[in-house]
A and B are shown apart, each in its own frame.
Chain A
Amino acid sequence: MNSDRKTIQYVANLAAIHLTGAEEIQYSRDLGAIMHYMEQLMAIDTGDVKPMEHVLSIRNALREDAAVNDDCRDVLLAVAPKTEEGCYLVPNVVE
């Protein structure tokens, strides 16, 4: 990985995280060392090895379509930082 400051800015933008200038320099250094270590993976011949996303041979876990919760709108809204008239409040998205 190229971990220069420009790359850090690009990745931070993808991750939607604001970084200060000092943080950009620090992550450039930290991630540079980590990615350098991880270059060891490039040397391994993984040939026909099948990627393993998960240890369990998972299939869709289906369950009966039954209502199990009561109306819990107010309970869920109560943990939101900003609400208005029973809705989550977000900044203006339409001009």
Chain B
Amino acid sequence: MLLNEMPVHELAELLKSRSVGARELAQVHLDHIARLQPDINCFITVTPEDATAQADEAQKRLDAGQADPLTGIPMAFKDNMCTAGVRTTCASRMLEHFTPPYNATVVDRLNKAGIVMLGKLNMDEFAMGSSNENSFFGPVRNPWNRERVSGGSSGGSAAAVAAGLASFTLGSDTGGSIRLPASFCGVVGMKPTYGAVSRFGLVAFASSLDQIGPITSNVRDCAWVLDAIMGHDPKDSTSAPVAYDSCIPGLEAGVKGFSIGLADEYFGAGLKPEVKTAVLRAVGALESQGAHSGNCSVPSTEYGISAYYLLSSAEASANLARFDGIRYGHRSPDATDMRELYRLTRGEGFGREVKNRILLGTHALSSGYHDALYVKALKVRRMIHDDFSKAFETHDVLVSPCAPTTAFRLGEKTEDPLAMYLADVYTVAVNLAGLPALVVPCGLDRDGMPIGVQLIGKPFSEKKLLQAGYAIEQALGRFVSPLVTDCGPGGKPYGERDGNTDRDGTIKPIGGPVA
């Protein structure tokens, strides 16, 4: 097995036993990035020098026997998480040259754990999109088929893991932005319970819905990363002050006695038959291990898209008001007065979809429409929340498809925003209700594109979801994209290298920021 396709938990063993050095491991990934970045466009910024420095620090900890589970593991952050001294663009012209002076809490936590950051990942501008085609830095291509989208908005985060460019990544999920790309790229993605992971330093899109979570190649790694990032943070006033158990013990405990709910609304018209078949196969895998399933209903699901796009756009219109050309980011050179400065800066700095959302949200909050649109959507949000609560009275986990189709073709939906929004039909309700949800690969369609199954749980039931996800993974196996093993002429599987003594080698820059 190649180092860049190895699970985090196996790499950690190799690092601890000194079979592999932290620098060597980082270099394997940087080399792979240099080869594939032109094709896949996962990264907005690659940071080889920071990776070198962090790898050396990690090696010291490993040598001293003071390593945490993630010490020395190469990873990358979605480019909407602030990294002190490393530019954070949100894939927008508005923040093209913005370098934050502080770290997001998740960045601080993972730095403390000893990770090696390879760079910052491509995304839909300000996390608004379902295909990662809304990036100022160009679209991310799907590692399974470069004519297909990666899914969005954390497309870079999912594609990087799928292509073996990072051992794990973090994404953010406001209406499906971790889960949809995880499903389209054949990797594992977790949207934790709202409040479980600090949002401090995450550039805000819709504050009542945003949540950071891991994208990994397998379920056990997801538990490892969650353990490192979950927990109360006084810097985030919506961080939940609850006790967090480790997600790792009990991961293999199985699903005997689990009650699995299949909501009718998630298996209706519009669902591609191959996706349905694969999801039901995953349900069968749970049943064969002792779970029992039954039908249930989340009737207000059909209103989820409307409520979600009204509420998230309303919150976005307020959050993005901060981009005014004065304190940070793009500033129009042509303005002669304040009002013109705001208008021109925002007209030039924001891309098409971001402006679309701001206009929709501003309209929903404007005089005469506030009650009819915004408050109406808030009421529907409660109905969705209550529907889920009722379903969870009799079920431990709801199982559904993550998306009605597999990854679609680049450009297929870019001229029809509504069609793009409907790709989120199975994911948005989870955010409106604040629930955790895990996506695990469960099959391939006839074109060889991955299919993801979504497991939805009660608030703070991440551990149970991971247990069920692990059971599915054990039954169906991992799905590895062809690009993971595309290591070029010099690439050899681990164990067949010309010695593993490259620990003191120099990591070569691959051209700095990639635009």
On A, residues with C-beta under 8 Å from B are 1, 7-8, 11-12, 14-20, 23, 26-27, 30-31, 33-35, 37-38, 40-42, 44, 46, 49-56, 58, 60-61, 63, 72, 75-76, 78-82, 88, 90-93
Contact = CB atoms under 8 A, between A and B. Distances in A.
Interface in B301-355: 302-303, 305-307, 309-310, 317, 321, 324-331, 335-344, 346-348, 350, 352, 355
27 contacts: A11-B362, A12-B359, A15-B346, A15-B362, A17-B346, A17-B350, A18-B346, A18-B347, A19-B355, A27-B355, A31-B356, A31-B363, A33-B418, A34-B417, A40-B302, A41-B306, A44-B380, A46-B376, A46-B379, A49-B383, A55-B385, A55-B434, A56-B240, A61-B239, A80-B328, A88-B327, A90-B338
A86 to B, nearest CB: 14
A39 B372 CA distance: 10
Contacts of B385: 52, 55
Contact of A52 (B324, B360, B369, B378): B378
Interface string B57-101: 000000000000000000000000000000000000000001111
A23 B434 CA distance: 35
A56 B238 contact: yes
Interface of B: 98-101, 194-195, 208, 234, 237-240, 302-303, 305-307, 309-310, 317, 321, 324-331, 335-344, 346-348, 350, 352, 355-356, 358-360, 362-363, 366, 369, 372-373, 375-383, 385, 416-418, 421, 433-434, 459
A80 B325 CA distance: 8
Contacts of A33: 416-418
A32 B420 CA distance: 15
Contact of B347 (A19, A51, A53, A91): A19
Given A17-B343, A17-B347, A78 B101 contact: yes
A58 B330 CA distance: 34
Contacts of B373: 1, 38, 41
B421 A34 contact: yes
Nearest to B311: A53
Nearest to A34: B418
Contact of A41 (B208, B337, B338, B380): B380
B208 A54 contact: yes
A11 B377 CA distance: 19
A55 B380 CA distance: 13
Contact of A11 (B240, B307, B366): B366
A91 B335 contact: yes
Closest 5 CB pairs of A and B: A55-B434, A18-B347, A51-B378, A61-B237, A52-B382
Contacts of B346: 15-18
B326 to A, nearest CB: 5
Nearest to B386: A49
Nearest to B239: A61
A49 B384 CA distance: 11
B379 A52 contact: yes
A79 B99 CA distance: 7
A64 B317 CA distance: 31
Given A40-B303, A56-B434, A51 B375 contact: yes
Nearest to B382: A52
Contact of A81 (B329, B363, B380): B329
Contacts of B310: 38, 41
A43 to B, nearest CB: 9
A58 B194 CA distance: 12
Given A49-B379, A55-B208, A17 B358 contact: yes
A46 B208 CA distance: 21
Nearest to A10: B366
Contacts of B99: 79
B139 to A, nearest CB: 19
